[in-house]
Structure 1
């Protein structure tokens, strides 16, 4: 070998300029980044500078090493928890810190909105209840609450008894009845109509108590009289003398259902201890409370209530005398002035003409022709 042709030996590179040293610096970036993001970041800057300055690498190799340093720092910091909210990369202010620093609060997580609870619409008109429910976002339905399965046409004429709401599906179904109808105990049950009690023979006060206890509205009770010569009292007048008025007849009969279309009628008779008649008649409008008011009434002297004769008669003259025929005795043709007949009702029929009486208030009354030509009681 010619020593003059041997190439000179290249001195070896320092160890920190070798490829293993640079790769070790890059690995150190990931290791330190796992413990401290800040320290790892500084080491990454130094490693990148070493990559570009020390090893004799081509530029694209150095660029790849730079990108690799960033990736290694990210991986190391992520594995070490340095990128979490509670890591060392973020400082949490404490209540005792100066400068009025406020503690860091995490943003609230979104909450699922709860559905609107359906309001209680029972007792309200059906049309109003459906409008309010739809305004709250519900889909509405309705049906007959009774067992009759009637079609609901005019919703304003129906009242909500029961409702069933589904907050998940946002639907509500109303069970309704017609106005003035009672609500059933449950959906689809019969309507609990009150039943007519037996009040025949009871005083008016007692009858009213029995009707109220049965659940019957007294505003729907009609009154009537049973005598031909007594006017029908009003509810107020009957209540004033509630123990003097007696129920002689009733409608409907005992045990009958009293629905919203049923008319309750009480036929009343009135008497006190001073009246001649103190019992109900066998039928309505067949008896006079005051017997003297009966046109066919005859007193003990054979005088009829209308003042006419009790039998037909004819007379003939002869021999200065007179005789009667026809099988009946003669009677006074001019009528008879009766005495007092007790308590009377102004304007009712009376007989005989001239008879006297008094009202419940004590006003003197006399029997005489009225505006219609018939004998009636009027003030004397």
Structure 2
């Protein structure tokens, strides 16, 4: 009993031992040496129980201490910062919108900074309008530096380098189909290409119309010129002339907006009766009537048509007469004859 109580509680075991020794000396009719041996035996049992209790406690404490010591070590070797650092090294934000990249990096616990990736040192204001070209992460300081350019700009070859804008190739003299291929090869966005006709009395074609007969349309003039830089704000203009395969010779005029495809559309020749399509009568016309040909011109003796009328098919921008006359283009757009930007009467919608 002494050993059991001592194993449970040392104080309780000590009290039980004292009570046992008193009982041994008082109750049993043992000889003195037997009682003395029983007393020493009780002391030994108490010491054994206490020792067992202490060993169990030490073992439990050692086990308990071992776990916390191991846990902090494991936490330090595989801590969250180490995992986050690995994520920063492997996650590539290049090509992403700057605002999205910064938001994701901050969610991972990092501080973000940004700067212009080009050699212009511009201040980034609207981050949604910039794309990431380069990034530099510092795992120790937990920062990421993003180098970005505007969304419509190409990334430079290196951080702080010039923007690699394409140069305008030479397309004058080529057919429209060939010019399109040249522009695409130069990485020029075709949506920024506008078309115009070289003649004053011919409406400019749309891209679809030009592509439909791309081997008949030829480039007479271009803007910008060959070798000029094409930036995000540059509009490329091609001035086209259309000639069929049976036509021969160089049909491009010497300059843009100087020539009429139909000479009778030129007001300087309105009084020349030798031109095809011109008309004359001895009495002239002073009232409303119908103007002849695409330009709507009409001559008559010493006077010309001065009233309004209908001119049929007309060409935008061509000279016209009389003021107030109406007509439609080949595409069905309603036109009216009135003063143009140069003060002369032209067809306009």
Q: Is the structural similarity TM-score above 0.5?
A: yes
Note the residue ranges of structure 1 that are not aligned, 5 or more in a row: 1-48, 58-62, 78-82, 86-105, 310-331, 336-346, 354-363
Residues 295 and 163 (structure 1 numbering): CA distance in 2 closer, same or farther, change over 3 Å? Answer: same
Q: C-alpha separation between the residues in 2 aligned to 1:366 and 1:261? A: 34
Distance 2:276 2:297 in 1: 5
In structure 1, distance between residues paired with 2:249 and 2:322: 25
1:146-225 map, 5 Å: 146-225=118-197
Equivalent residue, structure 2, for 1:15: none
Cα drift, residue 236 of structure 1: 0.8
1:349 aligned residue (281, 295, 305): 295
User: 1:84: how far off?
Assistant: 8.8
SS of equivalent residue, structure 1 residue 115: helix
Q: Specify the SS of the correspondent of 2:237.
A: strand
Matches within 5 A, 1:321-360: 333=282, 348-349=294-295
- 1:286 CA displacement: 0.7
Assess if the C-alpha contact under 8 Å between 1:276 and 1:290 holds in 2.
no
* TM-score (norm. length: structure 1): 0.55
Do the aligned residues in 1 keep the contact of 2:194 with 2:236 (CA within 8 Å)? yes
Offset at residue 268 of structure 1 (A): 1.1
Residue 123 of structure 1 corresponds to which residue in structure 2? Answer: 95
Distance 2:208 2:200 in 1: 21
Q: What is the Cα deviation at residue 197 of structure 1? A: 0.3
For residues 203 and 132 of structure 1, what CA distance do their matches in structure 2 show?
Answer: 49
Q: Distance in 1 between matches of 2:262 and 2:250?
A: 10
Provide the C-alpha distance between the structure 2 equivalents of 1:173 and 1:366, rounded to a whole number of angstroms.
61
Question: Unaligned regions of 5+ residues in structure 2, if any?
Answer: 1-20, 22-32, 61-66, 285-292, 300-311, 333-349
Give the 3 Å change call, closer, same or farther, for CA 268–170 of structure 1 in structure 2.
Answer: same
Q: Which protein is richer in helix relative to its size?
A: 2
Alignment of 1:136 onto 2:108? yes
* CA separation of 1:283 and 1:159: change in aligned 2, threshold 3 A: same
Q: Supply the RMSD in Å over aligned alpha carbons.
A: 4.7
Distance in 1 of aligned mates of 2:249 and 2:313: 20
Greater CA drift, 115-124 or 150-159: 115-124
Following superposition of structure 1 onto structure 2, how do residues 53-132 of structure 1 map, counting pairs within 5 Å? 53=36, 109=71, 110-111=74-75, 112-113=78-79, 114-116=82-84, 117-118=87-88, 119-132=91-104
Query: Structure 1 residues 241 and 371, CA, compared in 2 at 3 Å: closer, same or farther?
Result: farther
> Does the CA contact (< 8 Å) of 1:223 and 1:268 recur in 2?
yes
State whether residues 313 and 327 of structure 2, in contact with CA within 8 Å, keep that contact through their aligned partners in structure 1: no
- Residues 201, 247 of structure 1: 8 Å contact kept: yes
Rounded to whole Å, the distance in 2 between the matches of 1:350 and 1:255 is 42
Q: 1:292 to 1:374 in 2, by over 3 A?
A: farther
Q: Structure 1 pair 288/376, CA: closer, same or farther in 2 (3 Å)?
A: farther
| Offset from partner CA, 1:216-249 (integer Å, 9 cap, x none) | 1001111111101100111111111111111111
Equivalence for 1:303: 274
What SS does the corresponding residue of 2:128 show, helix, strand or coil? Answer: helix
**In 2, distance between residues paired with 1:184 and 1:137?**
29
Q: Pick from 205, 210, 227: which aligns with 2:199?
A: 227
Q: How does 1:241-252 map to 2 (within 5 A)?
A: 241-252=213-224
Is residue 341 of structure 2 the alignment partner of residue 373 of structure 1? no
Distance apart, 1:191 and its partner CA: 0.7
Instruction: Tell me how many residue pairs correspond in the alignment.
Output: 257
Q: Say if 1:224 and 1:265, in contact at 8 Å, map to a contact too.
A: yes
